[in-house]
Amino acid sequence: MKKISNFFSTFIGLAPLFLILVLWESFSNKPSPHFPAPSYWLQSIQQIFLNGILINSIWNTIWTFLIGLLIAASSGFILGILIGINSSIKEWTAFILEAFRSLPPPVIIPIAVLLMGYSPSMKIAVISIATLWPILLNVIAGVSQISLGVIDASKSLKLSRKDMLLKIVFPSVLPFYILGIRVAIPLAIVITLLIEMLTGMIGLGGIMIAGQRNYNSAQVFGVLVIVGLLGLGINLFSQLIERQLLKNWPPKKSL
């Protein structure tokens, strides 16, 4: 019963969106160069779907996004732990990390274009560098918040260095790590689209900007919807994984 009412409230919540789309459809002067009606969006999507460009672009965007994020997530974790547990490295690198963090991620793209040219590896490099900072800084913060009591406990239990990492450091860093990845995911989507828009490389951003250049406004709006659905899907999926990973967090206090 609750599920049905939940579904119903979600549906009601979507009402303004439907209303806008319906009004748009009925009042726009059909294939206008500025505000084409939603039915034309579908047509243009169907067109690029049929000649295979759409699927190709979606795959390209998702793959580069995933690989870039994966590189950033793994290297950010390892680097973060290394910097976090070693206080002298932390002190020496604090300002450098802070400086890189304050740099807006999109400006990495022109640097990468100059240094590496237009190539898929450039795309992946930019995504992983841009998303590295939130993950790295969160992991460092996670290591530094481990309470001294826990560390003392591990010492009195005479844990080996490996055991200490596996049993103390990793579990207590995990929520911070996941927080970092949660920040990094939308950033990675944005950067992926931006690179494709700036360089015109194949991908969702690429076909959007191509549509704009050809004054094919229906295609732009259509791809915008697909990008929105993609963002929503990735968002929901990451929330699902997060909930699974943090199922036992915070640990139940059984005293």
Nearest approach, Cβ of 45 to other proteins (angstroms)?
15
The Cα 213–Cα 207 span in angstroms is 10
102 binds other proteins (CB under 8 A): yes
- Residue 3: its H or E element: helix 2-13
99 binds other proteins (CB under 8 A): yes
User: Residue written as tokens 């990845």?
Assistant: 181
Nearest CB to other proteins, comparing residues 171 and 200: 200
23 binds other proteins (CB under 8 A): no
Helix ranges (DSSP H) in 86-169:
87-102, 108-116, 120-144, 148-156, 161-164
Which letter, b or e, does each residue of 218-245 get, where b requires 16 or more Cβ atoms within 10 Å of its Cβ?
A: bbbbbbeebbeebeeebeeeeeeeeeee
Nearest approach, Cβ of 228 to other proteins (angstroms)?
4
17 binds other proteins (CB under 8 A): yes
Q: Residues 181, 237: contact at Cβ < 8 Å?
A: no
Nearest CB to other proteins, comparing residues 160 and 214: 214
4 binds other proteins (CB under 8 A): no
240 binds other proteins (CB under 8 A): no
The Cα 225–Cα 212 span in angstroms is 15
Q: Which stretch binds other proteins (CB under 8 A): 51-59, 146-154, 201-209, 244-252?
A: 201-209
Cβ count within 10 A of residue 120: 13
Binding site for other proteins (CB under 8 A): 9-17, 33-34, 88, 91-96, 98-99, 101-107, 109-111, 113-115, 134, 137-138, 141, 179-180, 183, 186-187, 189-190, 193-194, 197-198, 205, 208-209, 211-212, 215, 217, 220-221, 224, 227-228, 231-232, 234-235
